[in-house]
């Protein structure tokens, strides 16, 4: 598994933990990393993603609600909801990551941590979000720091 995939998986795990505890995450990031050890580059990448998702949560949740017709955001599977939050954040705000990479990574993470239907559901929502983008889908640009 690549370092970025591992970082994304850790970010999703952190987001799921917070979601299940109604926004209350571990007392500190250090507590989380004790539960889920990772190297410093992986931790740094994951925490950068988590911070971005938290900062842009209203926007990502609005996209999920818009495209998940007939589903209330709070009734989505917690893994699916947070995989979507991460991928949509990357697609909209991480120009250093090609959107197709974000979609493919989200599908793989949904397969690993979600239900049998998770990967198809995540793919369907992200395909709709992809249509909103005005940047190239297969290439990265920017400095890699994210928004």
Average pLDDT score over the chain: 89
DSSP string, 67-96: HSTT--GGGS-HHHHHHHHHHHHHHHH-TT
- CA–CA distance, 80 with 85 (Å, rounded to integer): 9
User: Which pTM does this prediction carry?
Assistant: 0.90
Q: What band does 147 get if pLDDT is binned at 50, 70 and 90?
A: very low
- CA–CA distance, 145 with 147 (Å, rounded to integer): 7
DSSP string, 109-122: HHHHHS-TTHHHHH
CA 79 from centre of chain? 10
All residues at 6 or more sequence positions from 100 whose CB lies less than 8 Å from its CB, including other chains: 137, 138
**Mean pLDDT: which of 15-19, 123-127, 143-147 is highest?**
123-127
Residues 24 and 36 sit within 8 Å (Cβ to Cβ): no
pLDDT tens digits, 11-62: 999 999 888 877 555 566 777 888 888 999 999 999 999 999 999 999 999 9
CA 76 from centre of chain? 15
Tell the CATH topology of 3-130.
Answer: N-utilizing Substance Protein B Homolog; Chain A (1.10.940)
- CA–CA distance, 27 with 34 (Å, rounded to integer): 12
Is the confidence at residue 79, as pLDDT, over 60? yes
Q: What is the CA radius of gyration of the chain?
A: 14
**pLDDT for the residue numbered 28:** 64
Q: What is the mean pLDDT of residues 102-113?
A: 97
Percent of the chain with pLDDT over 90: 69
Is the confidence at residue 134, as pLDDT, over 90? no
pLDDT tens digits, 59-70: 999 999 999 988
């Amino acid at each position: 598994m690549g370092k970025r995939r591992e970082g994304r998986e850790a970010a999703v795990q952190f987001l799921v933990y917070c979601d299940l505890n109604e926004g209350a995450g571990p007392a500190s990031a250090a507590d989380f990393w004790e539960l889920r050890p990772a190297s410093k580059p992986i931790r740094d990448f994951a925490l950068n993603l988590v911070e971005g998702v938290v900062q842009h949560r209203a926007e990502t949740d609005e996209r999920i609600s818009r495209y998940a017709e007939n589903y209330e955001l709070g009734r989505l599977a917690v893994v699916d909801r947070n995989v979507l939050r991460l991928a949509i954040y990357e697609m909209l705000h991480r120009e250093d990551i090609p959107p197709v990479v974000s979609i493919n990574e989200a599908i793989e993470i949904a397969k690993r941590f979600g239900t049998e239907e998770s990967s198809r559901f995540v793919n369907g929502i992200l395909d709709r979000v992809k249509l909103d983008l005005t940047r190239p889908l297969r290439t990265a640009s920017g400095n890699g720091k994210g928004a």
